[in-house]
Amino acid sequence: MPVEGIVIDTNVFVAAGFNPRSASARILAGIREGRFQLIWNKPTQRETEMILRRIPRLDWERVAILFQPEGEFTGPVDPDAFVLVRDPDDRKFAALSAAAKRPLVTNDNHLLADRNIIGIDVLTPRALLAREGKDT
């Protein structure tokens, strides 16, 4: 079965760090186990590192290994095409998801609420696990 590539919003890394039994943590475990592949680019990696280093209880070093070279998306990404995304910081994730044609996994209520007008596949960690048949 092919490994599904997924784009992960920073808030999923944060949620996983605070609750090791959460759906977010199971998504990160799925990447470690090779069930999912993290799709990333330099801007999304930079934001994730910056946020995780800022929160004392979280450990960037523990998740840095998930940003594997084979998951890096180096093609063109256009965050400015996503002005409908309310939070400008989230546009880079939406743009990467669109460019890589991979789902965006997030806990962000605005992204989830606006997924139909944004035009990308936006899922909660729990919804991704359910879709993969890994969880209910």
**pLDDT tens sequence across 6-52:** 999 999 999 999 999 999 999 999 999 999 999 999 999 999 999 99
Query: Binning pLDDT at 50, 70 and 90, where does residue 3 land?
Result: confident
Contacts of 85 (CB under 8 A, 6+ apart): 91, 94, 110, 111, 114, 118
Mean pLDDT estimate for the chain: 94
Q: Which of 87, 83, 8, 75 is nearest to 44 (CA)?
A: 8
The mean per-residue pLDDT over the stretch 104-113 comes to 96
**CA–CA distances in Å: residue 104 to residues 4, 58, 71, 95:** 12, 22, 14, 10
Residue 75 and residue 99 in contact, taking contact as beta carbons nearer than 8 Å: yes
Query: According to the model, what pLDDT value does residue 133 have?
Result: 80
Output the pLDDT for position 21. Answer: 96
Above 80 in pLDDT, residue 1? no
- Torsion, CA 61, CA 42, CA 37, CA 33, rounded to 10: -10
Nearest to 100 by CA among 122, 72, 128, 127: 72
- Cα(81)–Cα(40) distance, integer angstroms: 18
- The sheet carrying 36-38 orders its strands as 36-38, 4-8, 104-105, 122-123
Residue 136 confidence (pLDDT): 44
pLDDT given at position 135: 52
Q: Looking at the predicted structure, is the pLDDT value of residue 73 above 90?
A: yes
CA pair distance 95, 13, nearest whole angstrom:
19
